[in-house]
Structure 1
Amino acid sequence: MVNTMASMLPFGRASRTTVKHPVAGLPADDEVLLDAPDDRLGPALVAAGQGDHEPAAALLAGTRRHGQWEYRDRYTLHLAAFARSRPEWLESWYAAAPQDPDALLIRAQVAVDHAWRSPARAEVLRGVSPLITAAARADDGDPVPWRIALDHARGSRAGHTYFGELWEAALRRAPRHYGCHVAALRYLASSWHGSHRECLDFADRAAQDAPSDSLVQALPTRAVLAYLNDDCGPGVPRERLDQAADRAVALSARFPAADLWPAVIRNKLTYVLVRLGRWEDALEQLRLIGPYATSFPWSRLSDDPLGRFLEVRDEVGLRVAASGAARGGHPHSGRAGRVHSGDH
C-alpha cells in the first residue's frame, strides 16, 4: 500500500535554498502565479470587486449560449469562491434578476460550498436542495447544476439509487462533461471507501469511451491521485497507475505549453508522476505548466500551495540532473526513475 504523502515525498523547505538558478525551460519563481484567472474571468472578478455584476453575468451567459460547459463550470467555481468573501455583487445581481439562470447557478454553488464547511454538513446541505433545483430548472440543458447536485449527493450521503438518477440526468445534458465525471468519481470514492480498483474501473471506462482530446482522458489520473493519498483498501497494480498517468500525459501533449486552460490537469498529473517517481516525466509537465500553478493538489501538502509547488519544481529538477549525471550526462525521457511496483 502507498505510504502517506508526508513520508513519501522528499520535498523539504530547505531545498529552496539549494537552487540558485531556475531549471532550463522553467520560469523563475517570482513569475509563477497561483490560480490565475484567464483573460475572460479576470475582468469579471475585478468588476465584481467593485460591486458590478454585469461582466460576470455576460461571461456566464456567453458560456451558456455557446455550450461551453467546461469553461462555465470553472468560471462558476471561481466566481462562487469570490462571492463567499465578497457577496454584495451577487446579492445585487440576484435582486435585479431573480430568475437569471447564471445568478441562480452561482447562488447554488455558494450555498453548497458554505455547507461543506459546516460541522453539520449533511443537515445544512439538505436545506440547499431548492437552490440547486432552481438552477437546474432555469436552463434545462445546462449540466453544471447537475455537477453541483452530484457534489451535494456526496456531502449529504445520498444513496446509490438517487445518485444514479442524478448521474443519468447529467449525462443526458453533456455526456463528456469533465466536471460531472469528477463529481461522480468523488462520490464513488466516498461511498466505496478503499475500493480504489472500482473507482479506477469507472474512470477507465469513461476515458475509453471519450474522444482522445477530451478532458475525461485525465479522469483515471484523478482516481490514481485519490488512491495514492489513501491508506486503506487493497493495493492497485503499479501497471494500472502508470497506464492512467500515460493517458493523461498523452492528453497534456495535445495542448500548447504554458497554457492556462490545461494547467489544472497538468498540476494534478505532475503530483501523480512525482508520487510514482517518474522524475523526467514530471519535469516535462512542469515545463508545460510554465507559470500556472494551481492550489489543488499542492494544498494537500501545505498551507502554502504555491511555496510547495516551487519546492516540488526544485526537487524534480535536482533529481533529473542527478540522474543525468549518473548516466554520464544523458538524461532521457519516459519512465526512468520510477519506483518498483512492490514499493507502493
Structure 2
Amino acid sequence: MALLHAFTRSPRVRRRAAPSPAVGAVLPADDEVLLDAPDDALGPALVGAAQGDFVPAAELLAATRRTKAWERRDRYVRRLAVFARSRPGWLTSWRAAAPHDGDALLVDAQVAVDRAWDSPARTELLREVSPLITAAAKADNGDPVPWRLALDHARGARAGHTYFEDLWAAAVRRAPHHYGCHVAALSYLASSWHGSHRECFDFAELAAQDAPDDSLTQALPLRAAFGYLTDGCGPPLPRARLEAAADRAVALSARFPAGHAWPAEPRNLLTYVLVRLERWAEALEQLGLIGVYATSFPWDRDADDPLGRFLQVRREVRAALATGRGRGHPLRERGRHVRSGDH
C-alpha cells in the first residue's frame, strides 16, 4: 500500500536505556482512582451537556478549531460523542439551533459511526453515515478530525486500499503528524493484513521518527506493540522492537507533567506493555505518573471491568517488585507473544 510506501527511510531501532532503579512510587488509594476522568476543559462541557446546555461544548470545540489544537479536538469529539449516546438531548438541541455547524455535525457523525460499529449490520449502517461525515469535513478544510473519522468509517465499511489511501492522503495534508489519523491507519493495516505485524511496526516506527518529539505519534509504535502482544497470531517479532517501542513511549511520557488527565491514556497503554515485557520498575513509575487517571483503554481489551483490571495490575506490579519476580501475570494469558528472556 502507498500508506506504507509514503515512508521510505528504514526504521531505526533505538537501543534501550538502562532501566531506572525501582522507585517507591506513592500511588493513590484504590477508591481515589477515577476511570476516564475529563480534563479541566472538557469537564464543564460535560456538565453543561448533562444539564441540556450545548453552549459549553460548542465553545470548547470552537476553541480547538480556532487554535488548531487538533489532538485535543479529536479527543473531545470522541468523549462528547460517548456522552451523547446516553444523553442525546443537548446534541439534538445543538443540531436544531445550528444545523450547519461543523462542530455539531462532527460530534453527530462520531455518534453515528460509534453506534454503527456496535451493530451486526455495521457495514450497511456505516454507508448511511457517509453524507454526515462529508458535511463535517466540508465545514473546515484544515481540520483533520473528520478525516480520522472517515478513516475509521472506511475500515468498518471494509473499503478497498485505493479508497483508503485517498482518504489518508487528504488527512496527512491537513495534519502530517495527527495521532488519531495515524492510529486509524494502523488499525486499517492490522485488520487488512491480519497477523502482518512487521508491516504495522514499519509504518508506526517511521511515522514516529518523522514526528516532533512531543507529538503523541511518538506513541504509535507502542500501539503496534499492543496489537502484536494481544493478537496472538502472525510470525514472532524480535523483542528489541517491542523494547524500542516502550522506550520511545517512556521518553514521551517524561515530557508531560505527572498526574494529569491529558497524557493518561498513553501512560495506561505504556503500563500495559511494560507489564507484558516484565519491566516492573518502569511500570510502577508510570503508575505513579498516572496517579488517579485510569482509562478504559487498554484495560477493556480483556476485561468487562477496566477499572478493576487496572487496580489488579497495580497490585501485581507492586508484588512483582516486592518479591523480585511476578506472582503470576495479570496479562499473560492474553496473546501468546513474548516470553521472559525472549530476545
State TM-score, norm by structure 1.
Answer: 0.88
- Find the counterpart in structure 2 of residue 241 from structure 1: 242
- Find the counterpart in structure 1 of residue 18 from structure 2: none
Whole-Å separation in 1 of the counterparts to 2:144 and 2:70: 7
Q: State the Cα deviation string for residues 7-45 of structure 1 (Å, max 9, x = none).
A: xxxxxxxxxxxxxxxx74111111111000011111111
Query: Which stretches of structure 1, 4 residues or more, deviate above 2 A after TM superposition?
Result: none
Secondary structure of the 1:228 match is: helix
Whole-Å separation in 2 of the counterparts to 1:142 and 1:191: 26
Whole-Å separation in 1 of the counterparts to 2:134 and 2:25: 51
RMSD of aligned C-alpha atoms? 1.1
- Find the counterpart in structure 2 of residue 42 from structure 1: 43
**Counterpart amino acid of residue 313 in structure 2:** V
How far off its partner does 1:263 sit? 0.6
Secondary structure of the 1:119 match is: coil
Whole-Å separation in 1 of the counterparts to 2:200 and 2:75: 23
Consecutive unaligned residues in structure 1, runs of 5 or more: 1-22, 325-337
Whole-Å separation in 2 of the counterparts to 1:24 and 1:282: 10
The yes-or-no answer on 1:290 pairing with 2:282 is no
How far off its partner does 1:257 sit? 1.1
Count of paired positions: 307
**Counterpart amino acid of residue 150 in structure 1:** L
How far off its partner does 1:111 sit? 0.6
Whole-Å separation in 1 of the counterparts to 2:100 and 2:208: 36
**Alignment map for 1:257-296 (pairs within 5 Å):** 257-296=258-297
- Find the counterpart in structure 2 of residue 230 from structure 1: 231
**Alignment map for 1:1-344 (pairs within 5 Å):** 24-323=25-324, 339-341=340-342
Whole-Å separation in 1 of the counterparts to 2:198 and 2:152: 21
Whole-Å separation in 2 of the counterparts to 1:39 and 1:259: 10
Q: Percent identity?
A: 73
How far off its partner does 1:301 sit? 2.3
How far off its partner does 1:106 sit? 0.4
- Find the counterpart in structure 1 of residue 5 from structure 2: none
Secondary structure of the 1:211 match is: coil
**Counterpart amino acid of residue 27 in structure 1:** P
Whole-Å separation in 1 of the counterparts to 2:231 and 2:131: 34
Secondary structure of the 2:209 match is: helix
Whole-Å separation in 1 of the counterparts to 2:37 and 2:98: 29
Whole-Å separation in 2 of the counterparts to 1:259 and 1:38: 8
**Counterpart amino acid of residue 160 in structure 1:** H
**Counterpart amino acid of residue 284 in structure 1:** E
State TM-score, norm by structure 2.
Answer: 0.88
**Counterpart amino acid of residue 257 in structure 1:** A
How far off its partner does 1:213 sit? 1.2
Whole-Å separation in 2 of the counterparts to 1:110 and 1:230: 27
- Find the counterpart in structure 2 of residue 14 from structure 1: none
Secondary structure of the 1:212 match is: coil
Whole-Å separation in 2 of the counterparts to 1:285 and 1:321: 17
Secondary structure of the 1:229 match is: helix
Whole-Å separation in 2 of the counterparts to 1:42 and 1:211: 28
Whole-Å separation in 2 of the counterparts to 1:310 and 1:132: 38
Whole-Å separation in 1 of the counterparts to 2:72 and 2:260: 14
Consecutive unaligned residues in structure 2, runs of 5 or more: 1-23, 326-338
Secondary structure of the 2:173 match is: helix
